[in-house]
Structure 1
């Protein structure tokens, strides 16, 4: 049983990127119930029990046999070491498109749960929805409930989710071609500067240093407590911008500080744009497909640029882009990216998951932390420069930004200093929040 990948989904095959969700847990975990819950959600989602196979000039999803399906993996070990190991463990092409791992402390009270999903069949919203659905199923099973399989799990034929590129509103091919011509002219006139790697290109047989040699993926993390997250939201609201635009401005400012001189430089900001809520009818987050496009804008940023002015520019341009419906054109031209990579080339990439709920767990088990980060197989240290990526999400109202980087490109010390610079910028924004007005007639 096969389902062909559309041209947009096919792009992710070459990227070999994956969503990396994790949560740290305290309390006892019923491993049998968790294993059954993972089996149930993979049974309900055929893309999760599939592999990618060649299909003519493209690729297709093929259902795995019963003995090939992904199953929950369990072991005992250290949570930090397990996080680093799983972050760097790939989802090989031709193998299962998801992996679930539970790593427990020797006393059985501390755990790290990791869920990886290939980006060819997911995006941030659907991977978080899957993670929460798995724990919903676990909670029911651990509580002794018998849960009926979803309709999709009892069909004779799997219900493959429809590619988002086939759900877009109708468009004239001439309009799409005109939009593409305009985008190509824009990137030709405004080439953006990328961030030079701070790790020297490794020579053959050279010694490994701080990030030299073959390299590996690390994630540098920025977190804000609920109080400062609320202050940042208040600043955004009072300034008429989004939190996303404040983060983008802090990223652009931090990036500019790492370029020579003080005059204006052309920097690019790439913002992923969710399509699920903008389709008619809306696409549920539970549909396991990548349903995201991007908005690229270029800005002249100098050493003296006002970060709030940058935020207003980012916010207004992104809002105009969506109001025009250009997100649909952007999705239609996505297959052109391999021939014209500048269409998505930016100095900074700032995702925007918004505020999302964490997993609901049974009594006796709590989640101390939930994280979402992207990872991929190739980082191309030979390129000498690349965008800087920030994966932004607020679990349970607390802002978290993950900065994944490859140590043969950006050293851990570079990533930590950049993270600290962005945090300083966000705290400066938060400090400008005016007190909320008290009600005129308090009761």
Structure 2
């Protein structure tokens, strides 16, 4: 049975964007059990067994035949190259909306598991929950031999989040759209120019530059945020904005935009679990006048106050309702920096003899536009097991690796000023 995509989900179809989750592992791994675990998860979530097809003026999810459904791809090779390969391997048009790959190094002790899922059916929170469910099933299989009782694959699709929004006065939504359109016209965000001299001649590929904090520096960043009365997200957004401003010429104030995705799962009635396979996220765009010497603490306080006021009101619901307007007016979501933040999330729970040495969440898409000459800078923030990481995915025909590395390092320097301000950690009891 088909399931028609709602206008919010349809927005992702043209973007060809996906969530890419990876898990580096060391130890004994039963590939057959992992394959069975992935099969069980795809059976439990019908969206993972579909393709996107035209449906009237829109699109729909259409079930795949049994022979077409995604299966775990297992191969031997260099694990350090596998993530880059997966980032640059699109999900096939008209094919499954998910792909799982296990690459094991010769010798069988080092492994990399990579899960790619189309953003039409997933967001960051559900992607992380899906990754952990696969490993929960794997753990049960190898510890208890639970290979029977997998779902039969006949479950219902989850309803789109746009169908779960609370009732709204159409006039208030129209007023929200009018205000947002006027703000975008009067205060357009400046974008960072590409540094690649001849984008047309460059052979672009997706690469990722990473800023990782250890547990101690992550804790200090959190303590600094609490002391200042702001969120960690606000501190990171301030570091991104301050760094972006120094990539623009002049000493005067320039209008920069910060786009922050906002999770709606806990705000719906009833709340929907993270494992529900729908993109349950909207966004908040704010613009700020920034000079090269604007105080990052001031930026953080402004970002925190504005985002907090937005989330506390009905803005997130109105923002999701006006999402269909974005293709007609891209300035509604056009920002200098995009700062996604999944918050603190658990990593996979694994059986004895297998250890996760790294877990990552990366956004990727298939369409980049070097000829545009400029674009937002993307930063994907997540804290797995108490260690914060900021991923900077980029297309090398737009931003060179050297440019993004320098950007990352400067963001790290600004974050360092925040962590240096942290109050001492409480002394251990006893």
TM-score range, shorter chain: over 0.9
User: Where does residue 318 of structure 1 map in the other structure?
Assistant: 307
Displacement after TM superposition at 1:149 (Å): 4.1
User: Where does residue 171 of structure 2 map in the other structure?
Assistant: 174
1:372 to 341, 353, 361: 361
Q: Distance in 1 between matches of 2:181 and 2:393?
A: 29
Are residue 412 (structure 1) and residue 401 (structure 2) matched?
A: yes
User: Where does residue 120 of structure 2 map in the other structure?
Assistant: 120
Q: Is the 8 A contact 2:2 2:63 kept in 1?
A: yes
Displacement after TM superposition at 1:323 (Å): 1.3
User: Where does residue 383 of structure 1 map in the other structure?
Assistant: 372
Q: Distance in 1 between matches of 2:17 and 2:292?
A: 34
Are residue 47 (structure 1) and residue 28 (structure 2) matched?
A: no
Displacement after TM superposition at 1:200 (Å): 2.0
Q: Is the 8 A contact 2:36 2:147 kept in 1?
A: no
Q: Is the 8 A contact 1:121 1:288 kept in 2?
A: yes
User: Where does residue 88 of structure 1 map in the other structure?
Assistant: 88
Q: Distance in 2 between matches of 1:272 and 1:50?
A: 26
Are residue 341 (structure 1) and residue 313 (structure 2) matched?
A: no
The alignment partner of 2:342 has SS state of coil
Q: Is the 8 A contact 1:44 1:149 kept in 2?
A: no
Q: Distance in 1 between matches of 2:313 and 2:85?
A: 44
1:262 to 245, 251, 254: 251
Q: Is the 8 A contact 1:201 1:382 kept in 2?
A: no
Q: Distance in 2 between matches of 1:417 and 1:71?
A: 39
Q: Is the 8 A contact 1:201 1:384 kept in 2?
A: no
User: Where does residue 183 of structure 1 map in the other structure?
Assistant: 180
Are residue 222 (structure 1) and residue 211 (structure 2) matched?
A: yes
User: Where does residue 209 of structure 1 map in the other structure?
Assistant: none
The alignment partner of 1:328 has SS state of helix
Q: Is the 8 A contact 2:336 2:375 kept in 1?
A: yes
Q: Distance in 1 between matches of 2:331 and 2:389?
A: 29
Are residue 158 (structure 1) and residue 155 (structure 2) matched?
A: yes
The alignment partner of 2:217 has SS state of helix
User: Where does residue 421 of structure 1 map in the other structure?
Assistant: 410
User: Where does residue 294 of structure 2 map in the other structure?
Assistant: 305
Q: Is the 8 A contact 1:272 1:292 kept in 2?
A: yes
Are residue 395 (structure 1) and residue 384 (structure 2) matched?
A: yes
User: Where does residue 210 of structure 1 map in the other structure?
Assistant: none
User: Where does residue 434 of structure 1 map in the other structure?
Assistant: 423
2:282 to 285, 288, 293: 293
User: Where does residue 192 of structure 1 map in the other structure?
Assistant: 189
Displacement after TM superposition at 1:214 (Å): 2.8
Q: Is the 8 A contact 1:3 1:60 kept in 2?
A: yes
The alignment partner of 1:67 has SS state of helix
Q: Distance in 2 between matches of 1:66 and 1:280?
A: 35
Q: Distance in 2 between matches of 1:303 and 1:420?
A: 17
TM-score (norm 1): 0.95
Q: Distance in 2 between matches of 1:267 and 1:163?
A: 32
> Structure 1: where are the runs of 5+ without partners?
207-212
Q: Is the 8 A contact 1:17 1:376 kept in 2?
A: yes
Q: Is the 8 A contact 2:208 2:391 kept in 1?
A: yes
The alignment partner of 1:281 has SS state of coil
Q: Is the 8 A contact 1:25 1:110 kept in 2?
A: yes
Displacement after TM superposition at 1:147 (Å): 5.7
Displacement after TM superposition at 1:437 (Å): 5.5
Q: Distance in 1 between matches of 2:255 and 2:97?
A: 38
Displacement after TM superposition at 1:263 (Å): 1.4
Offset from partner CA, 1:67-98 (integer Å, 9 cap, x none): 00000001111112111111100012210000
Offset from partner CA, 1:166-200 (integer Å, 9 cap, x none): 10000011111111000000111101100000002
> Structure 2: where are the runs of 5+ without partners?
none
The alignment partner of 2:300 has SS state of helix
Q: Distance in 2 between matches of 1:268 and 1:183?
A: 13
Structure 1 residue ranges (4+ consecutive) displaced by more than 6 angstroms after TM superposition: none
Displacement after TM superposition at 1:303 (Å): 1.2
Q: Distance in 1 between matches of 2:355 and 2:391?
A: 22
Q: Distance in 2 between matches of 1:335 and 1:323?
A: 23
